[in-house]
């Protein structure tokens, strides 16, 4: 039909838009500001408008952008333009996270230190409200989580304790992954990639049901080759799997009801029957009670079973939580509670380490209340208190105080003091290995008092900046105490110390079609054993962290239909055992052939054939250069 004529018309429009954008760049910034000090929006290109942070009227729609925390948001669009094939690779976009690829299957991810496959246990990860850390070891089995990347609306990454509103284990950071409302993903999408290391296939279809509801079904499959041998032994780390799921969203009156569920199965290459399987089901209800108050209730069930060689574990979680928000004059009050129970099982036929008992039910309860009130129009104070209790701890009081100063809406200065704890995991309390290790029935929570401050703002219409500094005081960090000569050893809480650092990032819309972003994080740690104690692990619980990490990214729109994205990252080396610092690059070229078809090629770890990211002597393989080509079809 007249498609060709239309597209030439659009090209004309684009040229016009570029010309008008050129005018903007030529003007002095001062001339852009109108009388009220608000930028003259009519001078911005439509792309710049879409990038402009706004003051939001409704509280629910203002997730955390105004929150006085070190917050980085990865948008769905950035995910679509990144070379990542998995959610763990996507997380490399956040400058306040440290991501180590341990091998083809495993990742170690942390914020503000303690990184390592076994030691990153102070992070809360939420996927559509489901908590993903395991009560077995307080870490996250990232390999179990393979959501369809195209379904992700955004990922909020908070470095720091995250305050009152998040559930248990939000000690050093929070990763909050949310997927699109099904009503926003009508129609079909198919994505396939073929690569040197991995092939992927993903698809979804969204149907409208009646006037107010929609159902999305999605599926996702991947087949990943093993990596080359690193510090760890020669392991067969190839990995393949699939996930199937659905999400139903229904709006009626001021209510939104969401039902979602997933089933997954992943296979390891090692022994027949090795691999992971599981599923989950979530029911969520949001109600706008009136213009000033809302209620949010959620329940979910999640279970998984992992089997690798001679070791198997399983975890079943049931969770119920509720949150009530209310604005009252200068006060914004949030209160809520959460009840979670888990039942686990751990079977080890490979060596002497076992959990005693092998299966156990745990309870974690929390309740919270927070008031954010405006002292003056520019200055607000947030006071929050969370109570947390688990089967392994008494009631922990977790207060949190935050001050936010908006000298004007484009700038936010904040400071916070908060207390957070990591309650004992099953491994902390119940791990035994006769005759070397006896159960630590007295193991206590690891504790943190965090001092933070930061600035976030838009120094000009085309730039945004965030800088935060922190000083974390830790106590009762895990050690392994020699309780008799020559044996046994018992897990204990004898490490104490502090960490400090800076995280900074910024964006610059250099031209309407070219965006640059950069981020850096610096970290220092100093810990000591309490007098008269020993640690036979040599402070292994502290992990091994690079002292710096720097990221640089460029995103270009080349004309109407071509996008070019490239990134560079520099990461400091690790010490025990030593692996060198590295610099790596990635790139992606995308071409939107038509409204229905997109083609792309992408490459990761471009600069070296292999490099080491993890120094885990039991698991680490070398990260490899990889290239893939793919397509997205929409209909």
Partner 1 sequence: MWLALAGLARAQPSEEAVKAAFLPRFARYVVWPAAAVPEPVAPFHLCVIGRDPFGRMLDQAAAGEVIDGRRVAVRRAASAGQSGGCHLAFVQGGSPQETARLLLALRERPVLTVTDARAGPQRGMIHFTIVGGRVRFFIDEAAASDRGLAISSRLLALAAGVRQRR
Q: Are 402 and 373 in contact (CB under 8 A)?
A: no
In the complex with partner 1, the residue whose CB is nearer, 413 or 520, is 413
- Strand 275-290 relative to strand 293-308, pairing: antiparallel
Report the residue number, 442 or 560, with the smaller CB distance to partner 1: 560
Calpha distance 315→280 (Å, rounded): 12
Part in contact with partner 1 (CB under 8 A); list of ranges 58-66, 226-234, 302-310, 344-352:
58-66
Q: If we measure between CA atoms, which residue out of 244, 240, 241 comes closest to residue 219?
A: 244
Q: Which is nearer to partner 1, 137 or 406 (CB)?
A: 406
Min separation Cβ 167 and partner 1, Å: 22
The correct pick among 59, 236, 244, 251 for binding partner 1 (CB under 8 A) is 251
d(CA 324, CA 589): 45
Size of the site for partner 1 (CB under 8 A): 78
How far is the C-alpha of 71 from the C-alpha of 174, rounded, in Å? 9
CA distances from 253 to 215, 287, 565 (A): 19, 9, 42
Can you read off the two tokens belonging to residue 298?
């959620």
Beta strands (DSSP E) in 329-445 are 331-348, 354-355, 359-374, 379-390, 396-408, 411-422, 431-432, 437-438
> Candidates 104-112, 207-215, 523-531, 543-551 — which segment interacts with partner 1 by CB under 8 A?
207-215
With CB under 8 A as the contact rule, the residue among 15, 25, 27, 53 that binds partner 1 is 53
Q: Which of 49, 194, 352, 583 binds partner 1 (CB under 8 A)?
A: 49
Assess 533 for contact with partner 1 (CB under 8 A).
no
13 binds partner 1 (CB under 8 A): yes
Q: Which C-beta is closer to partner 1: that of 187 or that of 394?
A: 187
418 to 447, contacts with partner 1 by CB under 8 A? none
Closest CA to 471 of 501, 505, 504, 503: 501
Q: What is the rounded CA–CA span in Å between residue 552 and residue 296?
A: 38
Hey, is 253 helix, strand or coil? Answer: coil
Nearer to partner 1, 184 or 575 (CB): 184
State in angstroms the smallest separation of the CB of 517 from partner 1: 14
Element spanning 165, H or E: none
Residue ranges in 15-44 that form contacts with partner 1 under rule CB under 8 A: 16-17, 29, 32-33, 36-39, 41-44
x/- mask, partner 1, residues 210-229, rule CB under 8 A, reads xxxxx---------------
Q: Does 167 bind partner 1 (CB under 8 A)?
A: no
Does 520 sit near partner 1 (CB under 8 A)?
no
With CB under 8 A as the contact rule, which of the stretches 73-81, 83-91, 99-107, 544-552 interacts with partner 1?
Answer: 73-81
Output the CA–CA distances (angstroms, integers) from residue 388 to 87, 253, 383, 395, 594, in the order listed. Answer: 29, 35, 17, 6, 53
Please state the closest distance from residue 39 (CB atom) to partner 1, in A. Answer: 6
Contact call for residues 116 and 616 (beta carbons, < 8 A): yes
In contact, 306 and 281? CB cutoff 8 Å: no
Q: Checking DSSP bridges between strand 431-432 and strand 354-355, what pairing results, if any?
A: antiparallel
Using CB under 8 A as the binding rule, the residues of this chain from 556 to 575 that contact partner 1 are 557, 560-561
Give the whole-angstrom CA distance, residue 454 versus residue 25.
Answer: 30
Q: Is 186 in the site for partner 1 (CB under 8 A)?
A: yes
372 contacts partner 1 (rule: CB under 8 A): no
In whole angstroms, the minimum distance from the beta carbon of 376 to partner 1 comes to: 16
- Does 209 help bind partner 1 (rule: CB under 8 A)? no
Q: Tell me if 196 contacts partner 1 by CB under 8 A.
A: no
Check residue 461 for interaction with partner 1 (CB under 8 A). Answer: yes
- Nearer to partner 1 among residue 236 and residue 378 (C-beta): 378
- Pick one of 15, 22, 55, 536: the residue that binds partner 1 (CB under 8 A): 55
Which of these ranges, 186-194, 222-230, 359-367, 444-452, lies near partner 1 under the rule CB under 8 A? Answer: 186-194
Q: Residue 483, interface with partner 1 (CB under 8 A)?
A: no
How does strand 597-604 pair with strand 610-611? unpaired
Rounded to the nearest whole angstrom, what is the least distance from the CB of residue 41 to partner 1 in the complex?
A: 4
Rounded to the nearest whole angstrom, what is the least distance from the CB of residue 459 to partner 1 in the complex?
A: 5
- Residue (of 105, 58, 50) closest to 75 by Cα position: 50
Distance CA(310)–CA(330), nearest Å, equals: 59
Q: Which of residues 106-145 bind partner 1 (CB under 8 A)?
A: none
Residue 180 is classified by DSSP as P
Distance CA 585, CA 606 (A): 5
Dihedral sign from CA coordinates of 269, 106, 586, 128: positive
Q: Which of 59, 75, 190, 217 binds partner 1 (CB under 8 A)?
A: 75
When binding is defined by CB under 8 A, the residue of 113, 163, 410, 543 that contacts partner 1 is 410
What is the spatial distance between Cα 565 and Cα 550, in angstroms, rounded to a whole number?
Answer: 17
Find the Cα–Cα–Cα–Cα dihedral 603, 605, 607, 612, rounded to 10°. -160
CB of 223 to partner 1, least distance (A): 28
Q: Between 212 and 348, whose beta carbon lies closer to partner 1?
A: 212
Distance CA 486, CA 467 (A): 50
Length of the chain (residues): 635
Output b/e per residue, 282-310; b: 16+ Cβ within 10 A.
bebebebeeeeebbbebbbebbbebbbee
Query: Near partner 1 by CB under 8 A, which window of 112-120, 185-193, 289-297, 599-607?
Result: 185-193
* Residue choice 59, 65, 401, 449 for contact with partner 1 (CB under 8 A): 65
């Amino acid at each position: 039909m007249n498609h060709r004529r239309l597209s030439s018309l659009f090209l004309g429009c684009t040229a016009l838009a570029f010309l008008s954008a050129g005018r903007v760049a030529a003007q002095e910034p001062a001339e852009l500001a109108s009388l009220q000090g608000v930028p003259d929006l009519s001078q911005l290109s439509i792309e710049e408008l879409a990038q402009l942070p706004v003051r939001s009227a409704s509280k629910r729609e203002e997730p955390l952008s105004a929150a006085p925390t070190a917050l980085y948001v990865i948008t769905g669009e950035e995910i679509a333009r990144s070379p990542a094939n998995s959610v763990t690779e996507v997380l490399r976009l956040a400058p306040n996270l440290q991501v180590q690829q341990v091998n083809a299957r495993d990742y170690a991810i942390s914020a503000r230190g303690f990184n390592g496959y076994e030691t990153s246990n102070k992070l809360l990860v939420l996927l559509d409200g489901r908590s993903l850390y395991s009560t077995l070891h307080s870490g996250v089995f990232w390999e179990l989580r393979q959501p369809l990347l195209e379904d992700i609306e955004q990922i909020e990454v908070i470095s720091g304790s995250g305050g009152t509103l998040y559930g248990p284990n939000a000690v050093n950071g929070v990763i909050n992954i949310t997927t699109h409302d099904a009503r926003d993903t009508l129609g079909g999408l198919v994505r396939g990639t073929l690569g040197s290391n991995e092939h992927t296939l993903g698809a979804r279809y969204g149907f409208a049901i009646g006037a107010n509801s929609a159902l999305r079904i999605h599926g996702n499959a991947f087949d990943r080759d093993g990596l080359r041998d690193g510090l760890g032994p020669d392991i067969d780390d190839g990995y393949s799997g699939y996930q199937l799921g659905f999400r139903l969203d229904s709006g009626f009156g001021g209510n939104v009801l969401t039902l979602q569920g997933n089933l997954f199965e992943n296979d390891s290459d090692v022994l027949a029957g090795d691999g992971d399987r599981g599923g989950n089901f979530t029911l969520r209800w949001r109600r706008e009670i009136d213009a000033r108050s809302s209620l949010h209730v959620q329940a979910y069930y999640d279970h998984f079973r992992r089997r690798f060689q001679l070791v198997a574990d399983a975890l079943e979680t049931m969770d119920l939580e509720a949150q009530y928000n209310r604005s009252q004059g200068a006060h914004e009050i949030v209160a809520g509670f959460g009840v979670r129970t888990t039942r686990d099982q751990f079977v080890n036929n490979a060596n002497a380490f076992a959990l005693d008992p092998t299966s156990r039910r745990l309870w974690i309860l929390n309740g919270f209340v927070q008031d954010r009130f405006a002292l003056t129009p520019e200055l607000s104070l947030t006071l929050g208190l969370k109570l947390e209790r688990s089967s392994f701890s008494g009631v922990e009081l977790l207060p949190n105080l935050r001050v936010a100063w908006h000298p004007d809406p484009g700038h936010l200065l904040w400071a916070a003091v908060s207390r957070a704890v990591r309650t004992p995991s099953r491994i902390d309390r119940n791990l035994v290995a006769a005759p070397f290790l006896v159960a630590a029935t007295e193991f206590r929570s690891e504790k943190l008092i965090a001092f933070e401050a930061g600035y976030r703002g838009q120094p000009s219409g085309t730039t945004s900046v965030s800088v935060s500094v922190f000083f974390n005081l830790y106590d009762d960090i895990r050690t392994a105490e020699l309780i008799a000569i020559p044996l046994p050893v018992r897990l204990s809480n004898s490490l104490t110390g502090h960490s400090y650092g800076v995280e900074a990032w910024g964006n610059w819309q250099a031209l309407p079609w070219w965006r640059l972003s950069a981020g850096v994080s610096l970290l220092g740690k100093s810990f000591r054993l309490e007098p008269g104690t020993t640690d036979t692990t040599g402070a292994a619980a502290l992990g091994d962290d690079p002292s710096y990490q720097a990221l640089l990214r460029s995103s270009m729109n080349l004309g109407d239909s071509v996008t070019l994205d490239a990134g560079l990252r520099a990461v400091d080396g690790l010490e025990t055992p030593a692996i060198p610092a590295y610099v790596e690059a990635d790139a992606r070229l995308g071409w939107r052939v038509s409204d229905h078809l997109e083609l792309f090629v992408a490459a990761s770890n471009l600069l070296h054939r292999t490099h080491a990211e993890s120094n885990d002597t039991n698991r680490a393989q070398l990260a490899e250069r990889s290239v893939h080509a793919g397509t997205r079809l929409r209909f």
